[in-house]
Structure 1
Amino acid sequence: MTARSGPDRSRENTVLGKNKVAGKLAARRTVPAAVAAAAALALAACSGSSGDPEPAASGDGGLTPVTVGVIPIVDVAPVYLGVEQGFFEDEGLDVTLELAQGGAAIVPAVVSGEYEFGFSNVTSLLLASQQGLPLKVVAPGNLTTGEVGKDFAAVVAMPDSGIEDAADLAGKTVAVNTLNNIGDTTVSAVVDAAGGDASKVEFVEMGFPDMPAAVESGQVDAAWILEPHLTRALQSGAEPVSWNYAEVDPNLLIAAYFTSEQQIAKDPETVDAFTAALKESLSYAEEHPDETRAVLDSYTEIDPAVKDAMVMPRFTPDLDQAQLQLLADLGEQYGIFEEPVDVSALMP
């Protein structure tokens, strides 16, 4: 099985291009409390430091130990695969992968030096950067497949819901895992592009594992849901009404790996080594999809029938500032950011 080729990067027909003429929503949203709290904790950690911490001492065999904060989701499979394949050891690193609930916990841990590196979705990183946190992206995390009808994220509803396309989500309740983030901005974008009114969508915060049952029972009208829970929902009778990631842009960057400016300043060699190994891991993961799917068993518990059927994200080692800008523009359009975000501040 060969690696999937990258989708067309042209954005002339993307949802974002269509939505720019629609203007911003009247009701602006506030910065998510979790991100604001993380920013406060991280800034406190920075201000309380007496100076840059010393570079990590070499571990067994002369390897430099580093800790990476990750989330137990399919998106981080490449870094687990890279450790398994020895790519990080080849670069002189002894990597510990530390599982966390999400970026709200990982960001302050990276800024304080508890973790050398971390993983988070791009919108959360943009929010943290706008709050003044000294973060730098080192490599992409994962991207949409770019294929409508075959992606790892979609909005689903039951067949009798009366929701046939994204426009019908206006006036409905739609579950997202976190309010004011990549989920509701991309869903809002596809609603407006389909001729609906995104300001009339009622977003409800809910964990991904709870969404299939909530949709089936009618607790919510629809849900924006990611794999493996997307496959669970489809197997329970739900139907996709929008492939919001792929419809917003076929090259949409979802998440990224990052470090702190302090880490770069104190130990640039380790940052370079980690970045090189991670990029090799991302390329290997895309070129060996069966191994990437298999490595999920090392850190997640997914029903084998679901794991075999679900769609995996796309992985690439290439980082493009335009990918960050796309989500920054969507965030500003839909009220997450009250002013334009300087995305260059996050670039290495």
Structure 2
Amino acid sequence: MYIKKISSLIMAGILMVSAVGCSEAKGTEDRESMTLKVGVMPAVDSAPIFLAEEKGYFSDLGLDIEVQVYTNAMNRQSALQSGELDGAMTDVIALVNNVENGFDIKVTTSTDGAFPFLVNPNYADSKEVKVGMMEISVSNYLADKSLKDYEVEKVYINEIPARMEMVGAGSLDMAVIPEPVASNGELNGLKKIMIENNEEFSPDVMVFTGSTIKNKSKELKAFHEAYNKAVEDINEDDQEAREILISKLELKAEIKDKILIPEYNQARVPDKAYLEGIMKWNKEVLGKEINLKYEDLVDGSFVND
């Protein structure tokens, strides 16, 4: 009887340890399944993502995130379309054209950026101006909005560093360059002129593929939650954002106080009127008719009401 009792206790202990082990294994498995790969551009828009990663906000929520920086938007787009990325930082001009062409992506939040012109110091403010930009992108959109009184020759260059080099060499009068890379150019002798955005939303956005939205809703919820936490930090004190941008983008430390830091918003999606305006511009300037509904472009389920 005594032996049976001891055996029962031992067996109960084994079962308890086994149950705990299974529970821990399951927890580990769940945690390991929370992965996300995103592509960002060398822009101040990326600061909340960089900071959330640096401060462990993603990992605190069980999300293992991989952040890739792209200086060429076409390379980023290829990585997104080939499935190498779950989501990426892009702009609403590229968004509407990609969705119209059958690529299943949606905006889950706007981001906040700053886009100056970098100007060759020998440019004499002529009404005829040669401007470097990317064709289907925010750079084209902002140049059109800002240079209405000029006769603009548009030169399409995807690589951001190449645009800056051509401005410095005098091959271009100016180029639309995202901040903080623009401040690096300013440090090298180019003039930096801020492009004012008087619209409610920034033209930059984070998009995720349809399959990611469908199959990784927990990951996306954690992504936006960590993003919002980093936004709160930056708006309280932007020094960490300046430092993390310089570190992650391998920029010169001397630009720290020159960087134009926007006021970041909590995760939010652009409204219907804004996207309809983008589609109208797309038709008038790029000559491409966009036949999409707001719901084809936006998923607002990961932002706060």
Give TM-score, length-normalised by structure 2. Answer: 0.75
Aligned positions of 1:205-284 closer than 5 A = 205-206=156-157, 207-239=159-191, 243-244=194-195, 246=196, 248-284=197-233
Distance 1:203 1:315, change over 3 A: same
259, 262, 268: which one aligns with 1:310: 259
Q: Which has the larger radius of gyration?
A: 2
Distance 1:88 1:208, change over 3 A: same
**Structure 2: 5+ residue runs without aligned partners?**
1-25, 300-305
Spell out, residue by residue over 1:189-208, the C-alpha distance to the aligned partner (whole angstroms, 9 max, x if none).
2222xx44xxx411113443
CA distance in 1, matches of 2:56, 2:83: 24
Spell out, residue by residue over 1:81-115, the C-alpha distance to the aligned partner (whole angstroms, 9 max, x if none).
11222222232211122334444344454455433
1:217 shift after superposition: 3.7
CA distance in 1, matches of 2:77, 2:66: 17
Quote the sequence identity (%): 21
Distance 1:185 1:102, change over 3 A: same
Aligned residue for 1:172, secondary structure, equals strand
CA distance in 2, matches of 1:71, 1:278: 16
31, 40, 43: which one aligns with 1:62: 31
Distance 1:279 1:217, change over 3 A: same
123, 133, 137: which one aligns with 1:161: 123
What residue is the counterpart of 2:67 in the other structure? Answer: 97
Distance 1:136 1:301, change over 3 A: same
CA distance in 1, matches of 2:163, 2:74: 21
1:304 shift after superposition: 0.9
Give TM-score, length-normalised by structure 1. Answer: 0.67
Distance 1:267 1:100, change over 3 A: same
Spell out, residue by residue over 1:101-150, the C-alpha distance to the aligned partner (whole angstroms, 9 max, x if none).
4443444544554333322222212221111211121122224xxxxxxx
Spell out, residue by residue over 1:262-285, the C-alpha distance to the aligned partner (whole angstroms, 9 max, x if none).
222233233222222223333333
**Structure 1: 5+ residue runs without aligned partners?**
1-56, 144-151
1:340 shift after superposition: 5.1
Aligned residue for 2:177, secondary structure, equals strand
1:255 shift after superposition: 1.7
What residue is the counterpart of 1:181 in the other structure? Answer: 137
What residue is the counterpart of 2:152 in the other structure? Answer: 201
Distance 1:180 1:202, change over 3 A: farther
Alignment of 1:319 onto 2:269: yes
Q: How large is the RMSD of aligned CA atoms in angstroms?
A: 3.0
Distance 1:340 1:214, change over 3 A: same
Spell out, residue by residue over 1:202-247, the C-alpha distance to the aligned partner (whole angstroms, 9 max, x if none).
111344334455334422222222323433444455445x633x1x
Alignment of 1:87 onto 2:66: no
CA distance in 2, matches of 1:201, 1:183: 13
